[in-house]
Structure 1
Amino acid sequence: MTPADLSLTVLHAVRRAVDDGALRVDVPPGVKVERARPGGTGEYASNIALTLARPAGRTALDVAGILRDRLKDAPGVRAVEITGPGFLNFSLRTDAAGDLVRAVRAAGAAYGHGAALAGTAVRFAEPAEPRAALVTGTVVRLLRDQGADAGSGGTERIHVVPGPYDPDVLGADAARWALLRAAPGDRPLDGPPLLVQHERNGLFRVRYAYSRVRRLLVNGAQLGVHPSYDGDASHEIEASALLDGLRDHPVVLLAAARHRAPDRVARHLESTADALLAFQHTVLPLGDEKPSAAHRSRLALAEAAGTVLAGGLSALGISAPDRI
């Protein structure tokens, strides 16, 4: 993990703390990290807790504790300690990307699910309008995936701009995407463009990216290349956007559940698919190139990205076809 990677990881932790209401501050545009000074611990340190303390109306030690809880299990971070008035000190793992890829592959479709909302009970009113019913049902699934006890029989409502659910015209997948991709308070997407296989169609890009992963795995097997993250880091700079997509997936799922916003999942899937499609050409050997550990690692990363895409689509009730 580079200092830039660590800075982004800390920034994501701040954003998560703001999203779940633990901190009430404006998320800064960036976070400064630097080599730990004498008296500190680990390799790097940040004064972000001291910076946020006054606008948050909390002590720097309180802020540091909130952020430490959200950083201690971050990929690439071995330990987080608080020193002095509220400095965060970081000890790093040596194989952060490998840990991330292996975690996704081990969890499979459950990657990003958790118990953050365990003990929370949410009961929604039964909506009659088609889009409200679809959004509510999807939010219930997202909440349950985070450990919440969610269902019907209550009074909470998700306010949406109404829209028809037309599976007979669009097919179930496009009909759901049309209503879920737009924020609940925005007008649903037009349905017919979602049936066109074009790069402007976000649903097509996501499903096509997943199908490319399946084809890469087949082609890799034919070449004797099997997914295994072997610690080769030569691709990690060019794959940084894709690794960010995998790293952010659990955060996005939790935020979508908390904020009753399935559109966050759809947008995240689009950005992850775009990163995968930009990366796919480097995965397998080209021409006379011989298979190597780098190819095995890249294929494992692509497979993990496919897992995230399929899992995210499943959370929205949309299928992930092996071939398009």
Structure 2
Amino acid sequence: MDRSINLAIVGATGLVGEAIIKLLADRKFPVGELFVLASENGAGSKVSFAGKSLTVGKADDFDFSQVEIALFAAGASVSQALAPHAAECGVVVVDLSPAFRYEADIPLVVAGVNDEMLAQAREQNLVACADASTVQLVRALKPLTEQGPLQEVVVTQFQAASATGKAGVDQLAQQSVRLLNGLAPSEAAQAQIAFNVLPVSGQMQENGFTSEELKLILETRRVLADQPLSVQVTMVRVPVFYGYGQSVSLRSIQGLSAAQCYTLWDGDEDMSVEDSDDPQAVSPVAMVEGPPAMRISRVREEMEAGGGLSYFSVADNVRWGAALNAVKIVEKLLKDYL
């Protein structure tokens, strides 16, 4: 990337927006001018970027013709209201919300998995980023498809409070403090997540799955559209601030060994396999400093020698699953498609 571009970040004061700003600086992305935007509540506050203090502007009033790319990290309602307008101004919108993920003419992208879909970016000036859950799953699955088509994947996801943004983090913190002080977890009618595990994440659907489970199923099938893949998902909310754990069992048509998986996963710059038996060592969520990464552990073959395999992965859903994926998509757009 030998030229700079002007960027806008909508939702700059949210968890993902803040992580994107830091990653742009850490990765020395060639930003000409950076416009940080938020709702009326966040406008006027300050954010830091590459040693500079930037004033947050109001997204509703912004002239998007000033930028080439706009990253939207403010939720589906904001994206639905503002992203089409930005796209009409000639801006390529990289949207992290679910607003456009299921529209056939808008590419749904996981960086490093289906980058070729970015060739369609200029058709609608819109790119949809897959959910952090999907990014974590398909980044691990895609290399394995080199050995042969995947047939079946069963996932149990342990989902952190930050899945719902700052509100979820605040809820867990407040409930924890109240319980430690002998009070009821909440004065409001909220489910107790502090010191608890909830086997429902998202809205329950008529078919018995939740909206979060269906999201992972549908997005995985779309991103890995060339795979004859059956996907089963169970989402569990756990009292953790950041990070998703995924327990994955899979079956390939050709069969897979642990050794083959180690080889296929080797060399990814932000993904690693950990063979330590130290439980703390396999969790990059505890490592808040340094580049965000996904770590895979507990790789084991099916005891009946039927060709099945299981593993456990963990990644920071905000920094790795959402922010890094979006930044890598922008890097790829600038390098090859703009």
- Does TM-score exceed 0.5, indicating one fold? no
Give the TM-score normalised by the residue count of structure 1: 0.25
Give the TM-score normalised by the residue count of structure 2: 0.24
Bigger radius of gyration, 1 or 2?
1
